[in-house]
Structure 1
Amino acid sequence: MVSLARDSSPIVLAMVGLPARGKTSIARKIARYLSWLGHPTRLFNVGNYRRAHLGTAQPHQFFDPNNTEGRQALLGMAMTALDDLIGWLSSGGEVAIYDATNSTRARRNLVIERCQAHGFPVVFIESICNDESIIETNVRETKLRSPDYQGVDPEAALRDFRARIAHYARAYEPLGEPERSYIKIIDVGRQVVLNRIHGYLPARLVPLLMNMHLTPHPIWLTRHGESVFNEKGLLGGDSDLSARGDEYAKNLSAFIRERAGDEHVNVWTSTLRRTIQTARPMTQNHVAWRALDEIDAGVCEGMTYEEIRQQMPEVFNARAADKFRYRYPRGESYEDVIQRLDPLIIQLERQRSPVLVIGHQAVLRALYAYLVDRPAPSCPTLPIPLHTVIELTPTAYACEERRFQLAPAVQGGDSSTAHP
């Protein structure tokens, strides 16, 4: 498989919006997604610069646009972050995300001028939210836990932050400049507006931004039950489950029913028998995705690692040197797996009810890396043992994780060496 063509020209994605509208959550999701796809991406959060240089205990009056001293201090932090951003892109970065309110035309013009002077195009991403329930949830669950209000009485913090929002709202000028490149996200993906969007990366972000939501729901990742090939230490293939694998399938069904209760669970498998058989005690209505098929070991399918080491030492050594990028002869690399999983990520992002993914070690490593924001090259070393359920619950800024080991035990450990 050949990686998708990509425009490697540096670009700036500049956030726009009032506080508590999800800008930082969106910025982090974009950074996680692009980094996972292999684009060198860095987030520059102006709020972090302010806290680092000016301290965290700034009352709402500091953010009043009529406060000349505060306004100049905030501008200084914004420009310091922008200078660092430009320096990073100039030294080889590809995507820089400028996470700030950028709430006036004057500020956005300044960002454009500074970036374009160095040849870096800017695409603004504005988050608009008119749903008071979403704003209230965002304020209480994220903003009041920020370092700005550490040790502050929650009700006092709530009053102060609402006053801060009101200061920004008085001066706020929504995006509308027809000559600018921008994406507007309204009410967390209910509507997305594009203006002058060109190029590979901005266009690739649109499906992700359209399918975002804040509905909490668990995502369960698990490998299929132990297969006959696992027992023999063979790579790949399309073998049936072993007796222990069958037992795990029953245990998994009971576990998911207990965790999900009456909620509907979307069950996703690969097209290979061992994942479909693992899903069978739970449902006949699973969705089989070819994108979830295990990494293609090419000419090494059906071999053990020891056989590869003895019969194909050049393959064994080359893969050991760079397991993430090495492509099996006539097969795939981890990098290839990530590219074919990209459309599935968009489907995963749009789900609002629980999802159970029954997959394979290499594929689940790639999905896990995306969900918990681990560097893509770390995929080959991420632990995804057999007969274990990984429960991930996405939140605004991270992913909560729990692991459950379900019987039966696997002879000789978890047989993780039986495939990549």
Structure 2
Amino acid sequence: MKDYCGSLDSMTTKRIMTNHMGVKVEDTRICVVMVGLPARGKSLIAQKVVRYLGWLSIPAKNFNVGTYRRADTPAPSADFFDTSNKEGEKMRQAAARAAVADMVKWFNEGTGTVAVLDATNSTKARRRWVKEWCDEHNIETLFVESKCDNDEIIMANILEVKTTSPDYIGQDPETAAKDFRNRIRNYERVYQTIDEDEKDLTYVKLIDVGSQVIINNIQDYLQSRVVYYLMNLHIRPRSIWLSRHGESQYNLDGKIGGDSQLSERGELYASRLPELVANSVGDDRPLTIWTSTLKRTIATARHLASAKTHYNKLEWKALDEIESGVCDGLTYAEIAEQYPEDFQARDDDKYNYRYRGGESYRDVVIRLEPIIMELERSENIIIVTHQAVLRCIYAYYMNVPQEQSPWMEVPLHTLIKLTPRAYATEETRVPAMIPAVSTFRTKGSTAKHQ
């Protein structure tokens, strides 16, 4: 149970505009300032926040101070981060100034809404310096401290960093881990947690991976939205598995939408799926199965649900395929013939085009937001759902631009494993080697299968 300290009742909400381009908060510029010792998941949180906001059409960008520092010092030892190392301190301050200056420039170009300043910001003096700089340029600040004393989580994060951090590329993993622990000790000597002395700041403290969340002085709508997302995060290692349903009769006929049964090859994939998942999971950990409410996904997951007694299964209406309105049950050739203007409009802007009486990809993203929140709260999930829905979920994890996401190929009879890491999300695709039609359509095509 999370303990929520602070209140959102006193929040003031800025005027919000909603149109076909999504939610827009006028005149808002926010710097999310990460705070915390190394190996506390700051970079993972930072990239998640940027990815989440971009997925919701809110312009966001990450400014990682380590990236600026690496331009001059690509692979420093732990001694570089010792406060008694004056030259190292000077170079780290220069990197922080460069990051903040670029952030201000990005805001002043007029396209940015939320910036994330990813650094330790480990002292009160450094946090005050960031706030004063932002105040001078009319940028709100939201400090996000990840505070963790759980040794198991810290060691897992050290393992993560030593294998994925740009600071340790090509180094022996054990040597890297030892150096990184020494770096942490150097920061621990000077680290100051956010406390009552900084009660004028707007901040969120995530303690021990969100087991306790302390909120202070949240100011407006967009800050509250970021806070709500942060309250649902955890940084424990886990994976998400994605699969389309098995090949359906509608797939064979080239039709979209509907609630058709699986084909013979689709049934074969359903029977093979438990083996694919078992080989990918690799241990006996609990796994939760999510499907849509449509027949083809439920049928695809039915053997998986019975294969392991500790596999729970849930059906989500939010995971149903994109609603195709008057085009439901038609082939693309029929749509082009009966609704030529709509067919062209969808090719021109597939993300924002809404089927007559149906949905757009943007609409699907909006209804998937609760799914994303639940995914961030959960451990290991396998989702068996539909092409358009998987495109939206995949785009969230892999940071695919909106205009590209509706055109991604998500093949049938393939299990996709996504593993979020501190600096990126790893992807593994496992084909079942069971033939299926391709439902991928290029712009302008009306082919039945391609």
Q: What TM-score does the superposition give when structure 2 sets the normalisation length? A: 0.86
Of residues 343, 361, 364, the one that matches 1:316 is 343
Describe the shift of the 1:155–1:403 C-alpha distance in structure 2 as closer, same or farther (beyond 3 A): closer
Verify the 8 A CA contact 2:21 2:57 in the aligned structure 1.
no
1:263-412 alignment runs, 5 A limit = 263-283=285-305, 286-352=313-379, 354-410=380-436
Q: What per-residue deviation string (whole Å, max 9, x for no partner) do you get for residues 102-129 of structure 1?
A: 1112211111111111111000001111
1:38-53 alignment runs, 5 A limit = 38-52=57-71
Higher deviation after alignment, 385-394 or 84-93 = 385-394
Higher deviation after alignment, 37-46 or 391-400 = 391-400
Partners in 1 of 2:301 and 2:152 — Cα distance?
A: 37
Verify the 8 A CA contact 1:130 1:187 in the aligned structure 2.
yes
Higher deviation after alignment, 218-227 or 176-185 = 218-227
* 1:180 paired residue number: 201
The alignment partner of 1:364 has SS state of helix
* 1:30 paired residue number: 49
Describe the shift of the 1:66–1:382 C-alpha distance in structure 2 as closer, same or farther (beyond 3 A): same
**Structure 1 stretches lacking a partner, 5+ long:** none
Higher deviation after alignment, 275-284 or 3-12 = 3-12
Of residues 97, 100, 119, the one that matches 1:79 is 97
The alignment partner of 2:404 has SS state of helix
Q: CA deviation at 1:96?
A: 0.5
Q: CA deviation at 1:151?
A: 4.8
Partners in 1 of 2:342 and 2:218 — Cα distance?
A: 43
* 2:83 paired residue number: 65
Identity %: 48
Verify the 8 A CA contact 1:389 1:406 in the aligned structure 2.
yes
Higher deviation after alignment, 63-72 or 330-339 = 63-72
Amino acid at match of 1:255: L
Verify the 8 A CA contact 1:3 1:339 in the aligned structure 2.
no
* 1:231 paired residue number: 252
Q: CA deviation at 1:263?
A: 3.4
Amino acid at match of 1:280: R
Q: CA deviation at 1:406?
A: 1.9
* 1:219 paired residue number: 240
Q: CA deviation at 1:238?
A: 1.5
Verify the 8 A CA contact 1:299 1:328 in the aligned structure 2.
yes
Describe the shift of the 1:254–1:18 C-alpha distance in structure 2 as closer, same or farther (beyond 3 A): closer
Q: CA deviation at 1:205?
A: 2.7
Verify the 8 A CA contact 1:191 1:210 in the aligned structure 2.
no
Amino acid at match of 1:69: E
Q: CA deviation at 1:311?
A: 1.4
Q: CA deviation at 1:374?
A: 1.8
Partners in 2 of 1:145 and 1:318 — Cα distance?
A: 42
Verify the 8 A CA contact 2:44 2:421 in the aligned structure 1.
no
Partners in 2 of 1:163 and 1:281 — Cα distance?
A: 49
The alignment partner of 2:305 has SS state of coil
The alignment partner of 2:341 has SS state of helix
Verify the 8 A CA contact 2:256 2:331 in the aligned structure 1.
yes
* 1:13 paired residue number: 32
Partners in 2 of 1:57 and 1:235 — Cα distance?
A: 52
Partners in 2 of 1:191 and 1:270 — Cα distance?
A: 32
Partners in 1 of 2:161 and 2:145 — Cα distance?
A: 19
Amino acid at match of 2:400: R
Number of aligned residue pairs: 416
* 2:216 paired residue number: 195
* 1:415 paired residue number: 439
**Structure 2 stretches lacking a partner, 5+ long:** 1-18, 307-311, 442-447
* 1:241 paired residue number: 262
Partners in 2 of 1:310 and 1:4 — Cα distance?
A: 31
Partners in 1 of 2:185 and 2:304 — Cα distance?
A: 51
The alignment partner of 1:194 has SS state of strand
* 1:205 paired residue number: 226
The alignment partner of 1:401 has SS state of strand
The alignment partner of 1:133 has SS state of helix
Q: What TM-score does the superposition give when structure 1 sets the normalisation length? A: 0.92
Q: CA deviation at 1:257?
A: 4.2
Cα-Cα RMSD: 2.3
Partners in 1 of 2:105 and 2:89 — Cα distance?
A: 24
Describe the shift of the 1:304–1:151 C-alpha distance in structure 2 as closer, same or farther (beyond 3 A): closer
Verify the 8 A CA contact 2:23 2:58 in the aligned structure 1.
no
